[in-house]
Amino acid sequence: MKSVIARKTIIPVFFLFLILTGLLCLFNYTYVSNLIKGERKNELGQISDYIIERTEEFDTSDDTMFINKFNELSYSVCSSFDVDYICMFEPDTEKDTLTYKSIVYSPSYKSDTSGTADLFFNGPLNYALREEEIKVLKGTEKISFVTYQNKYDISLSGLICVELPSGSRTLVSIEKEFNAISEQVNRIIRIQAEFIIAVFLLTCILFYIVIRKYVSKPAGIVSNAMNNFVSNGHRNFTKMDETGNDEFGLINKSFNKMAEELDAYVENLSQQKAEIDVASKIQIGLLPEEKNLYNGCRIRAFMKPARNIGGDLYDYLELDEENTLVTIADVSGKGVSAAVFMAATLIILRQFARLKMSPQEILINTNNELAKKNPLMLFVTAFVGIYNSREKKLTYSNAGHNNPYLISNGKIKTLDNARGTVMGLFDDEQYIEETVNMNPGDTLFLYTDGVNEAVNNNKEFFGIDRLEKFLSTYSPRNGISLIKYIANKLSEYSNGTEQNDDITMLSLTAEDQTIINLKPENTDFNKIKDTILSSSIPDKFKLKLCLAAEEIFVNICSYAFEKSTGEKILTFGLKTSDRIEVSFEDNGIPYNPTENDLTDIETYDAEEQTGGLGKIIAFGIADSVRYEFKDGKNKLKLIKYTETE
Amino acid sequence: MTINKSIENNILTLKLEGWLDTTTSEDLGKEIEKCENVSSIILDFDKLEYISSAGLRQVVAFSKKAKSINADFAIINAGFEVMSVFQLTQLDKKFKISTK
């Protein structure tokens, strides 16, 4: 558990107080020292007055006698006034020396003085007088105080001038030790400081414990509870203790309340989310599944809703053997309302389409139905096209939707006519329709504005120009469908940026397909030959495809039915769209020709190994070969791309 | 497929016309059996539109037959489509072939 508050507040306060205590002690020390010093000076003054008074009473004209009397006086003063020692010396201001005349120690004076006392009388000592001493010697000041520091102690000395009977002026120093006082003062102040610090330290510790217990700990508990609440996914939340009557009690109470409300809210939210998921599934379920629809055309569709549930729709439907319907639409708005409207639109459109109406009629009738009951005034843009594979024509009508593209031999053309207004707003709106030729290989590309309005990290649109560029550079050789190709480009472009709108695309590629049943006999190659030669594929590919087909066919005839006893099924398929597909299906022995490595052409001796020739020729002609064994049949497909590389 | 056969100065020339495929290759096979006492065999592909591996096998068989009777063997006037099949199978390196 962290006690940041306690540490952050108490430690600085403690140190601040330590500094303040130090300053207080320093002040105390100076103040008390000066106070004592003053008192001491007073005392020394009185003593010196007394000494001067008494020396004036010395009735002698002899210096030695005078000094003897002075010694006696000094002794009595030392004894009765608690003075450390009194000394008399005669300075010589010219030579800067001094000569001791008398020195008397107090009996209680602790210094070891026996040696030094002798030293003092051994003759003149070098000593330059201090300013205070000169003043006293000259008589400008009656008494002067000097602080001495010798190797034993610090002492305060009162200096007075005494004139010997001979007339020479001597200085008398009355000294009192100062150490004892400062030590005493120090001790008192130290005790004070220690006491204050101890009390404060104790207070701090107590305060720390209190903060830790009543602030940090409850704060930690609240913090943990909040963390767990989120990471637990709002479940198994243990209630906080609400009993405390302090602020934390209140916080805990509020937190519990918040947690409960949040829990209920989240529960409600996930319920709604689940419902939306179901709605989304229903909606997606309404759309046709992507599958190989053969009705003379190939259809691919893609939808990526911006949110779980969207307002875009696409649809395709085999109306009869030769007509295929394709629809794309975009409902205004987003979310549930758009989705409901989308579902209604999809079903109405589909029902009118099933009645074999033309695109124009489908739009007119759907619009009337939608406009009748549309209180929210939602509207829908839609494109409806019907491709007739016999006539190789697309008939279409557009209700305010993005113009689709018709891609033919790598050239893109905008289908920008047959335009009417959006559906759902006005009754009796009229729509027109147009017809355009679609040859095998031509592709109709439908999309919603989610495509061109897809954004990248810089919030820039994908744009029509980029879409057209990719549509015209697409090649079936990429191995992926046009829709998948554009979807990949969109995904690369948006690079994870969340899309604001549903992205929906649908493509219809016109195809020519012939399927014929064959007997596994070489003579049936003529049927294959006739099929290929009479097909719509470009002449330059016909012979090559015949050759590839023959080689596969001969192989199947020779090997597939070796052990077969039942009905021999063999079909040949030729499909022309943006590529040519030659396919064979047989119910013979499972055999995957793509698995066995092709004979190595470098070491291959064609004269000797003529058996492998067929596969070399067939696989050499095809751009890609696909094999699968499915539903009890070998399914082999040779693909040849018609566009020039 | 039709085969125009002519022998001149001990040189056998077979002019092939049309498609030499799995359904017609036997026709060429019959010619191999009949072929005897010639010093050279020439296959003229001028009017041959199509050849498949079945046809190639007969061509290979013919070349072997030629070897067995010590006759020269050559292909002349091969068109683009036909030549490309020889190239695909590397057989162009095995025979004397002249193109159109």
Tens-place pLDDT, residues A34-47:
787 788 888 888 88
Which pLDDT score is estimated for A350? Answer: 93
**How many CB contacts within 8 angstroms connect chain A with chain B?**
62
Q: State how far the Cα of A104 lies from the Cα of A121, in Å rounded to an integer.
A: 13
Q: Do A551 and B19 touch (CB under 8 A)?
A: no
A-chain residue closest to B57, CA distance: A610
Instruction: Tell me the pLDDT band of A63, cut-offs 50, 70 and 90.
Output: confident
A-chain residue closest to B92, CA distance: A606
Instruction: Tell me the pLDDT band of A182, cut-offs 50, 70 and 90.
Output: low
Q: Do A547 and B85 touch (CB under 8 A)?
A: yes
The model's pLDDT over A301-358, given as tens digits with 9 standing for 90+, comes to: 999 888 667 789 999 999 988 899 999 999 988 778 888 889 999 999 999 999 999 9
Instruction: Tell me the pLDDT band of A115, cut-offs 50, 70 and 90.
Output: very low
**Which pTM does this prediction carry?**
0.61
Nearest to B90 among A547, A604, A621 (CB): A604
Rounded to a whole number of angstroms, the distance from the CA of B62 to the nearest CA of chain A is 11
Neighboring chain A residues of B19 at a CB cutoff of 8 Å: 529
Rounded to a whole number of angstroms, the distance from the CA of B96 to the nearest CA of chain A is 14
Nearest to A554 among B22, B49, B94 (CB): B22
Find the mean pLDDT for residues A617-628.
Answer: 91
Query: Is the pLDDT confidence value at A114 over 50?
Result: no
Find the mean pLDDT for residues B59-88.
Answer: 92
Which of A496, A471, A301, A319 lies closest to A403 in space, CA to CA? A471
Neighboring chain A residues of B23 at a CB cutoff of 8 Å: 522-523, 525-526
The per-residue pLDDT of chain A, averaged, comes to 84
Alpha-carbon distances, residue A38 vs A29, A141, A189, A216, B31 (angstroms): 14, 18, 19, 54, 153
Rounded to a whole number of angstroms, the distance from the CA of B9 to the nearest CA of chain A is 28
Between A141 and B28, whose confidence is greater?
Answer: B28
What DSSP string describes A567-580? ---EEEEEEESSEE
Query: Is the pLDDT confidence value at A148 over 80?
Result: no
The model's pLDDT over A193-215, given as tens digits with 9 standing for 90+, comes to: 788 888 888 888 888 888 888 88
Burial track A444-455 (b if 16+ CB lie within 10 A, e otherwise): bbbbbbbbbebb
Query: Is the pLDDT confidence value at B89 over 90?
Result: no
Which pLDDT score is estimated for A490? Answer: 94
Q: State how far the Cα of A226 lies from the Cα of A219, in Å rounded to an integer.
A: 11
The answer to whether the beta carbons of residues A455 and A413 sit under 8 Å apart is no
Q: State how far the Cα of A478 lies from the Cα of A242, in Å rounded to an integer.
A: 67
Rounded to a whole number of angstroms, the distance from the CA of B73 to the nearest CA of chain A is 14
A 196-255 residues inside an 8 A Cβ radius of B: none
Which pLDDT score is estimated for A578? Answer: 83
- A601 touching B, CB under 8 A? yes
Query: Is the pLDDT confidence value at A518 over 60?
Result: yes
Q: DSSP assignment, residue B93? A: G
Which has the minimum average pLDDT: A3-12, A430-439, A452-461? A3-12
What DSSP string describes A280-318? HHHHHHHSPPP----SSEEEEEEEE-SSSS-SEEEEEEE
Pairing of strands A419-420, A405-408: unpaired
Find the mean pLDDT for residues A508-513.
Answer: 89
Neighboring chain B residues of A553 at a CB cutoff of 8 Å: 22
User: Which residues is A63 bridged to in the sheet?
Assistant: none
Q: Do B52 and A551 touch (CB under 8 A)?
A: yes
Rounded to a whole number of angstroms, the distance from the CA of B88 to the nearest CA of chain A is 7
Which pLDDT score is estimated for A606? Answer: 53
Instruction: Tell me the pLDDT band of A145, cut-offs 50, 70 and 90.
Output: confident
Neighboring chain A residues of B62 at a CB cutoff of 8 Å: none
Longest dimension (CA), chain A: 175
- Three-state DSSP at A22 gives helix
Which pLDDT score is estimated for A571? Answer: 93
Query: Is the pLDDT confidence value at A455 over 80?
Result: yes
Query: Is the pLDDT confidence value at A92 over 80?
Result: yes
A 505-524 residues inside an 8 A Cβ radius of B: 522-523
Query: Is the pLDDT confidence value at A151 over 90?
Result: no
Cα-to-chain-centroid distance, residue A522? 70
Q: Do B91 and A606 touch (CB under 8 A)?
A: yes
The model's pLDDT over A555-572, given as tens digits with 9 standing for 90+, comes to: 898 888 887 778 889 999
Cα dihedral sign for B35, B37, B41, B43?
negative
Residues of chain A with pLDDT > 90: what percent? 31
Which of B4, B19, B24 lies closest to B49 in space, CA to CA? B19
Rounded to a whole number of angstroms, the distance from the CA of A604 to the nearest CA of chain B is 9
